Homo-oligomer: A and B are copies of this chain.
Amino acid sequence: MIGVGGSGSSLRAWIISIGSELLVGRVVNTNASWLARRLTFMGFTVDRIIVVPDVVSDIVEEVKRGLGRVRLIVSTGGLGPTHDDVTMEAMAVAIGKPLVLNREAELLLREFYSKKGLPLTRERLKMAYMPEGCRALRNPVGSAPGCAVTHNETILIMLPGVPEEMEAMFESEVTAILSPITPQVAIVECYSQIKGVPEASIAPLLRELSKRHLNAYIKSHPKGYILEKPVIEIRVLVAGSVGEEALSSAKQILEHIISEAVKLGGSSDVEVGCQTTG
């Protein structure tokens, strides 16, 4: 089983979210939950999500705490062209490297702006200045490139703050960087239907099971009514390093839910189906 394994896991990760808009509550940090879920399913144990303002000293403080302590630090935000985008500067300070013009990043920016018929101004070129040693990450959706750099056993990944850009860059660039160090993970999804029990009656059980099985995602979807009886679809998703274990765990959780639903007066006509990916 993978997932939240406590501090025993060697694949610990931190997520550092950079942006004052998060600290005044204007923006909900969906980037962090997206990344946390994605990293967990890749085999990492995320044990901190830290939100810091766009202030160099604050970013440096938190990154330094993580260096050497966790295998991976992913940051989001602060890569844009304006003066309050200070992530690259802060990362350079944190790892003790100079901020230099990254040629790959410059090429990516030239390509991006020439396609748009826009000049590569000084402000825009600022986005190509990165800590020395950075591998520039292409932004498939927007302008700002990301960076991947390793320092003392810790991989540092800097991603943009715009959710679509962050997600696209993660999928197209970051997964390949991380795959050599992550275990083969199988993801199993089992599903069935329950009839005759309202969703609210089964919700406490699902919550309890979710809390108990941290590597499982348990979801219910109301599917309408058959002969005035509510029908709920139940889906249980489990990630595991061993496919058979994940499969048996997902099945077991789902069968437990069904048996509890039967105790509550429900029934299940639909056989449990399962599929495995990854």
Q: Answer yes or no: A67 CB below 8 A from chain B CBs.
A: no
Contact B49 A20 (CB under 8 A): no
Smallest CB gap from A13: residue in B: B23
A74 — which chain B residues lie within 8 A by C-beta? Answer: none
Q: Cβ of A26 and Cβ of B210 under 8 Å apart? A: yes
A37–B25 CA distance with the chains assembled, in angstroms:
4
A27 at the interface (CB under 8 A from B): yes
Contact of A28 among B3, B21, B28, B52 (CB under 8 A): B28
User: Counting CB contacts under 8 A, is A258 at the interface?
Assistant: no
Distance in angstroms between the alpha carbons of A6 and B55 in the assembled complex: 8
DSSP class of A's interface residues: helix, strand, loop or mixed?
mixed
In the complex, chain B residues whose CB is within 8 Å of the CB of A22: 33, 36, 49
Given contacts A6-B55, A55-B7, contact A36 B49 (CB under 8 A): no
A29-B27 contact given A50-B49, A214-B21, CB 8 Å threshold: no
> A232: CB under 8 A from chain B?
no
Please report which residues of chain A, range 22-81, place their CB below 8 angstroms from some CB of chain B when the two chains form the complex: 22-30, 32-40, 46-53, 55, 58
* Chain B residues whose C-beta falls within 8 Å of the C-beta of A37 in the assembled complex: 24-26
- CB pair A29 B53 closer than 8 Å: no
Q: Is the CB of A24 within 8 A of B40?
A: yes
**Can you pick out 11 interface pairs between chain A and chain B where the beta carbons lie within 8 Å of each other?**
A4-B20, A7-B58, A23-B40, A24-B36, A24-B37, A25-B33, A25-B39, A26-B217, A28-B28, A28-B33, A49-B49
